Structure 1
Amino acid sequence: MSYLSKRLLSGAAIAFIVAGCSSAQNPLNSSSAIGSESNYGIPPSGDVPKANNFKKTKVVEGLENPWSMAWLPDGTMLITERPGRLRIVRNGVLDPTPITGVPEVFAVSQGGLMEVSLHPKFAQNRLVYLTYSHGTEEANRTRIARAKFDGKALQDVQVIFEVSPTKPGGQHFGSRIVWLPDNTMLLAIGDGGNPPLKINGELPRQQAQKLDSQLGKIVRLNDDGSIPKDNPFVSTANANPAVWSYGHRNIQGLTFDAENKRVWSTEHGSKGGDEVNLEEAGKNYGWPVVTYSREYSGGEISQERSRPGMVDPKLVWTPSIAPSGLAFYKGDLFAGGLVSQDVRHIDLNEKGNVVSEKSIEIGQRVRDVKVAPDGKLYVITDEDNGQLIRLEAVGN
């Protein structure tokens, strides 16, 4: 099988075909090929084959910019709408009345009500977690609130965590939550926004490399918002103890492979350079020191694509697909694309390297992808008339 692969070498883009060739045959060495053992070479980006083995069924429509979904033990669905509503779907029917008790949100641009996630022991404690943007145009941040859900309303709402420092504008809130087997949670947080915005006189992207800042990070928290004692930087001077990994621009896809105990993310690049990353505690993922992104206004952000001590992505998308929503399903990754309006089926090998990639066409901006208790994939689309869509594998 042949794949179009791109790699930057000495600042120039060199395109070549990897057609099952050996290391000696490949002019840039086999580290550039998909599925190679080295993680220095970046797998292909751009056009990919279409996947024709998934049936798409529209379950619900009429959602206003939905952002996230979660299932209760009885199969009932909760769906967030970015303007600030939490909706409920029972037996495939959207309840016209939103759930009450949702905190007030700063709903502007990319901000608003975002992730909804259930405590791993929801059946016992009825705890629901919401991420949302809070504040003003001049000073805002991502928050996590938790509450008990009685079937109709949120009760005993508490803010258990808020990101520091505050930032201006309405960009890069991150906000995906993943639960680990020890019932701690990972929360993805964006870097704060694009130029010309500034935080303390610097571009927000500089926050991603600052260990005393929570911007541009994945943080790890206990279920009450406190800091786990075994976080990687708890004993590091001048580091924020919540930080779990850093050097991120804006992660909006986060998922956990329970079988192999792996955390995966998809991250928005600037102009190109979207990333799929295998996340590990304490690691630096490079932004903005190392990146395949370019400035929206033109020109390079950095001339470096890789550096010792910084983790290379497993896959880079240029041009951008604007990844949002990520699921681990039957050994592979399924990544939603806002700009590409599809779901990317990313085939992984046992070592967690990318083997191939296909596109499942959706035709609307894909905001979230998750696996339901019924074992099927579900997608929500970020539109004024957003949809809930079920994907079912058919044939081979």
Structure 2
Amino acid sequence: MNRIILTFTCLFLFHTFSANAQDGALLYGQNCASCHGANLGGGNAASLVDGIWQFGAEDGYVFRNIKFGIAHLGMPSYEATLSDGEINAIISYIRESENKVGAKKPPIAKEIETLDYKIDVEIFAEGLEVPWAIDFIDENTALITERPGRLRVVQNGKLLDEPVKNTPKVLNEGQGGLLDVAIDPDYDKNGWVYLAYSHVLASEYDGNRPPAMTRIVRGKIENNSWTSEEVLFEASHDSYRTTRHHYGCRIVFDPWGHLFFAIGDRGAGYQAQDFTLPNGKVHRIYKDGSIPADNPFVHEEGAVKSLFSLGNRNIQGMAVHPQTGELWVTEHGPMGGDELNRIEWGKNYGWETITYGKNYNGTVITEETHKPGMEQPNLYWRPSIAVCGLDFYRGDLFSKWKNKLLVGALKYEEVRLLQIEGDKVVHQEVIVKNQGRVRDVSTGPEGAIYVVLNNPGTVIKLTPQ
């Protein structure tokens, strides 16, 4: 095994025989020790027992890197030489070895050095349970969503103990729960707060697994209680699905009063091409939920009138360019093929007819990467970095980064800084690494950069020294 450590998530691993550390020790010695060291402490490649996993700490990530490798970084594939059970045995041995030496993830760094800045890092909020998104009412007040269904308030630098009361009930299963929060651009005049979450039809369904879909609402917060709720988007109930993944969803506003949100394909990629269904698409509405008369499919019989684009797998990052008003998104690909796309009126972004990725078990989804009438990504990542959270830097503290794109990555635990000229990415740099799984990244009202982390459930604040 090479310099680059093992990585990626596979939720559906099947053992070909029992994975145990004793078998794993022998297999490790035969296949891994020459690079990672006989005692796993490193050599030509990095240590496996120092608590640092550069490309994903979870077992599924580790499994994927051993099996399929990271070719461009010199990590070879062991798909042809090790069975799934043997790979799992090696992972069991690594985990047992980590436990023996007490390997722990290092604490969050207090400072970071980039090409342009030395950065101070402070804890903005901690002790959160799967925080998903952050937005700011003003310089002294932030709202943070926790996926299990809580909306938290940070006021004057302190995380309030009590969540906002009476927020919508969410389906906290799989990837579902309370997702994005967005503050109305005219909040000081109208007080509206917008939420995206997984909505379940439990009361209408007698089965053991009621269907669900992404829903968009807005409301106001008065005396720490959610009030005046209005449903802005609720899909037809016959389009709800019993799957528990690929909900999307981010909410952003453009300068012309539109509200954009995205719904993932809900695990049914073929439906992303069907304009009669809401999933696998970007939607555009007005802030009160009404439909713009110039939406691209508004006159198509049977079409979902809010649709703005088709063929999007699972968008979890959305941002509007501060100067042009253009909508940019990042979407999770399958294994390989994470994409950055500039979303335009009525265009089709290809999923799952074309893709640069493969199924998580290594099988081919399609041989096609191009097709007439379908857009190419502005950038794609192979292997996947698990893109999540997106923002154009809009502040003044990091003046050299003005209007550059901040991209979060769950799997690689990164924030990347992308320089875009026109529709081209001309440079990218990793500015945060190995602090936790990056769920969201946002410019604060004072110009600091806020990064929402999972494992640990923490929000960090970045300011230049």
- What is the Cα deviation at residue 57 of structure 1? 2.4
1:346 partnered with 2:418 = yes
- The answer for the alignment partner of 2:263 in structure 1 is 189
- The answer for the alignment partner of 1:244 in structure 2 is 308
Correspondence for 1:304 among 368, 374, 388:
368
- The answer for the alignment partner of 2:437 in structure 1 is 365
- The answer for the alignment partner of 1:227 in structure 2 is 291
Tell me which amino acid in the other structure corresponds to 1:99. Answer: V
Mapped contact 1:54–1:391 kept (Cα < 8 A): no
1:141 partnered with 2:213 = yes
Q: CA separation in 2, counterparts of 1:131 and 1:308?
A: 33
- What is the Cα deviation at residue 175 of structure 1? 1.3
Q: CA separation in 1, counterparts of 2:451 and 2:441?
A: 5
- The answer for the alignment partner of 1:261 in structure 2 is 325
Q: Secondary structure at the match of 2:188?
A: helix
1:152 partnered with 2:218 = no
Q: Which region of structure 1 is more displaced relative to structure 2, 294-303 or 233-242?
A: 233-242
User: RMSD over aligned Cα, in angstroms?
Assistant: 1.7
Q: Which region of structure 1 is more displaced relative to structure 2, 262-271 or 385-394?
A: 385-394
Q: CA separation in 1, counterparts of 2:150 and 2:130?
A: 10
Correspondence for 2:447 among 372, 375, 389:
375
TM-score using structure 2 length: 0.70
- What is the Cα deviation at residue 62 of structure 1? 0.7
- Bigger share in strand: 1
Q: CA separation in 1, counterparts of 2:210 and 2:362?
A: 27
Structure exhibiting the larger radius of gyration computed from Cα positions: 2
1:392 partnered with 2:457 = no
Task: Tell me the alpha carbon deviations over residues 67-109 of structure 1, each in whole angstroms, 9 at most, x when there is no partner.
Answer: 0111113530000000000000012211111111201110001
- Bigger share in helix: 2
Correspondence for 1:91 among 152, 156, 159:
156
- The answer for the alignment partner of 2:190 in structure 1 is 125
Evaluate the alpha carbon distance shift between residue 122 and residue 283 of structure 1 in structure 2; reply closer, same or farther with a 3 A threshold.
same
Q: CA separation in 1, counterparts of 2:286 and 2:118?
A: 37
Mapped contact 1:138–1:169 kept (Cα < 8 A): no
- What is the Cα deviation at residue 393 of structure 1? 4.3
- What is the Cα deviation at residue 236 of structure 1? 2.2
- The answer for the alignment partner of 1:315 in structure 2 is 379
Task: Tell me the alpha carbon deviations over residues 144-187 of structure 1, each in whole angstroms, 9 at most, x when there is no partner.
Answer: 12111125111122322113410112100001001011222001
Gaps of 5+ in 1: 1-44, 194-203
- What is the Cα deviation at residue 376 of structure 1? 1.8
Gaps of 5+ in 2: 1-70, 74-112, 203-208, 394-401
Would you say how many aligned residue pairs link Structure 1 and Structure 2? Answer: 336
Q: CA separation in 2, counterparts of 1:109 and 1:46?
A: 32
Tell me which amino acid in the other structure corresponds to 1:229. Answer: A
- The answer for the alignment partner of 1:180 in structure 2 is 254
- The answer for the alignment partner of 1:17 in structure 2 is none
Correspondence for 1:292 among 356, 360, 371:
356
Q: Secondary structure at the match of 2:293?
A: coil
Mapped contact 1:73–1:123 kept (Cα < 8 A): no
Identity %: 41
Tell me which amino acid in the other structure corresponds to 1:77. Answer: A
Mapped contact 2:262–2:282 kept (Cα < 8 A): yes
- What is the Cα deviation at residue 309 of structure 1? 1.4
Q: 1 or 2 for the larger relative contact order (CA 8 Å, sep ≥6)? A: 1
1:100 partnered with 2:172 = no
Segments ≥4 residues shifted beyond 6 Å: none
Correspondence for 1:163 among 226, 235, 242:
235
- The answer for the alignment partner of 2:57 in structure 1 is none
